[in-house]
Amino acid sequence: MNFKKFVRMAYPIVLILLMVVFMLLYSVRNIAMTKSQYETRLQETGHQLADEIQLHMKTSVSFVEAFAEVFSEYEDIHSAEALDTLQRVSKKTDFTRMWLTKANGDAISSEGKASNALGRAYLENGLMGLSGISEVQYSNVNGERNVVIYAPIYQKEKITGLIIGIYRLDELSQIIDITCFEGHGHCSIFLPDGEVIVNSENTKSLYGTNLLNYWNGVYFDQNQSLETIKNDLKYDQDGIISYQKDGYFQYGYYYPVGINDWFTYVSLPEDVVTKEYYNNIISTIIICCCVVVVLTLFLVNTFHKKNKRLVKLAQTDSMTELLNRGALEKMIDAYLSESETPDSALLLFDIDKFKHVNDTLGHIVGDTLLKRVALLMSEEFRKEDVLGRLGGDEFVIFIKNAANDKKLKNKANDFLDKLRLISDELDVKIDISGSMGIAFSPRDGKTFAQLYSRADELMYQAKDRGGDCVVTM
C-alpha cells in the first residue's frame, strides 16, 4: 500500500523530470542546430528576395512591351498625339520619366525634352528586337542609380524605334527590406565587383559602397576567403559566409538575382542568432508565416493590378478609350463563332473630310472631335454593343441580335443626325458628318474580316453619293 502511494506521488515528479530532461536535450539540440537553421533561413530569404526582384523587374519589362504595342499604332512616334499619350501614360507608372526613341537615336521624353541615344547599348539591343534592362547608370544631376527598361516598337514588322522607361533603383529598397529577422537582418543588391547598388532601409552605410572592400578587412571562418567569394561572383555562384569584424560575428549569404549580373546579399549578426534560441519558437514561426502570407498576397495583388492594367492598355485605343483594332477583331470573331443567335451587324463609318478638319482647325480640334464622336457612340448604343476605333477617323459599331434591318438603318441615320450637331458643340464653322456602311451576319460574312470588307465597300458607296448617309445592301 505504501508502495502504491509512493508510485502515485512519484509519477508526477518523474513526469516533470522527464519533461525537464526532454527540454534540456531539446535545448542542446536546438543550440547545435541554430547555426544550420539560420544558414537555411538566410538561403530561403536570399532566394525569396531574388524571386521578388526578378518578378518586379520582369513585370516592368512586360509593362514597357505592352506600351510598345500601343505606340506601334502611330505612324510617327514623335507626333503630337503620340507624345501626348506618352505624357499621360508616364504619370501612371513607377518610372521617373519615359522616352520615345527613333531608330536614328533621336529621343523625346515624357517631359518634352529632346536627346539622342546613339551609341547606347540598349538602343543597339532594342533595334535587334530585344527587350530588357540596361546596365546600371548614374544620374548627372543627383547621382542616383537608374536602369533603362526598353522594348522595340514595330510598324509593319519593322523596328522603327524604342519605348524606354527610366527606373530608379532606390525603389527596390522597399522590396528587399527584411522583416522576418525582426529588423536585425540586412540586405543589399550588388555587382560582381562589389559595388552596392541598392540597400534595404536599415542597411544604408553599413557596408559602405563596396562589399568586397568591406570583406577585405574581416576574419573569415575556416575554408572561406575573399578569393573564394570573388570566384563565386565571377561564375554566378551562391555562397554562405561567416566572419568576424570589430569583435562582432556575422552570418551572410549571397545569391545571383538572374537579372544582368546582380546579386543579393543577406546578413545577420551572431547576437540575433543567439537571442533567437531564447524566443518562443512557435510564435516566431507564426510571425514568419504571417509575414510571408502578407507579402505573398501583396505581390499577387500588385501583379494582378498591373496585369489587369496591361490587358486594358493592350486592348484600348489611347485616344478615345474605345477598343482598338486587335481587340475588336478578337471579340467579334469570338462572338460570331460561339453565339447561338448569329444575326448581327457591323456598322463602319468615318468622318467626312476629316483631313480638312485637321488641316484647317488643327490636330487639337481633330483630336477633340474624335473623342466627342467616341462619347456619342457610347451614349447612343447599348452596353452590350461592341464599340471601337480602327485608326484615324474610322470607327466600328458591332450590334448583337440585329435581326431587324430597317430598324437598325433608322438607328444609324439617327446617329448621323446627332453627329452633325457636334459642329455646334465644338463651335466650329465646318460641317461635320459621317459616311456609314452596314454589313449583316451571316448574310455578308461570318467573320470580322468578311463583315469589315463588305461594310468598307458600302461605306465608300456612301461617300460616292456625297457622304452624310448610310448604305446597306
> Any alpha helices (H) in 253-386, and if so which ranges?
270-278, 281-315, 325-338, 354-361, 363-380
Residue 280: per-residue pLDDT: 43
pLDDT at 111 over 80: yes
Tell me what pLDDT residue 92 has.
86
* pLDDT tops 80 at residue 330: yes
**What angle (nearest 5°) sits at the alpha carbon of residue 118, between those of residues 117 and 120?**
70
Query: What is the pLDDT at residue 423?
Result: 84
How far apart are the C-alpha atoms of 70 and 64, rounded to whole Å?
10
Residue 405 has pLDDT above 70, yes or no: yes
Q: What is the mean pLDDT of residues 430-434?
A: 88
pLDDT confidence band for 14 (50 / 70 / 90): low
Task: Please enumerate in sequence order all residues whose Cβ is within 8 A of that of 127, keeping only pairs 6 or more positions apart, or say none.
Answer: 103, 152, 159, 162
27-31, 117-121, 353-357: least confident range? 27-31
pLDDT score of 161: 95
C-alpha cell at 142: 543627383
Given a cut of 60, whether residue 32 has pLDDT beyond it is: no
- Per-residue model confidence as pLDDT tens digits over 43-62: 988 898 899 999 999 999 99
pLDDT at 428: 79
User: What is the per-residue pLDDT for 338?
Assistant: 85
Mean pLDDT confidence for 450-463: 94
Q: Write out pLDDT tens, residues 168-225.
A: 998 888 777 755 466 677 889 999 999 999 988 777 777 788 999 999 988 998 788 9
What residue ranges define each of the domains in the chain, with the CATH number in brackets? Answer: 32-51+177-295 (3.30.450.20), 72-171 (3.30.450.20), 325-471 (3.30.70.270)
The pLDDT tens digits for 358-402 are: 888 888 888 999 999 999 999 999 988 999 999 889 999 999 988
pLDDT reading at 135 higher than 50: yes
pLDDT of residue 207: 79
Which of these, 94, 113, 107, lies nearest to 171 by C-alpha position? Answer: 94
pLDDT score for 160: 94
pTM: 0.52
Percent of the chain's residues with pLDDT above 70: 80
pLDDT of residue 39: 82
Q: What is the mean pLDDT of the chain?
A: 84
Please, which residues bridge with residue 301 across strands? none
pLDDT band at 427 (very low <50, low <70, confident <90, very high): confident
Tell me the per-residue pLDDT of 276-325, one tens digit each, with 9 for 90 and over.
555 544 544 455 455 445 555 655 565 566 656 655 556 788 888 899 99
Let me know: does 306 contact 364? Beta carbons within 8 Å.
Answer: no
Residues 257/259/263/267 CA torsion (nearest 10 deg): -40
Other C-beta atoms closer than 10 Å to the C-beta of 454 total 22
Of the listed ranges 74-78, 226-230, 246-250, the least confidently predicted one is 246-250
Is the pLDDT confidence value at 131 over 80? yes
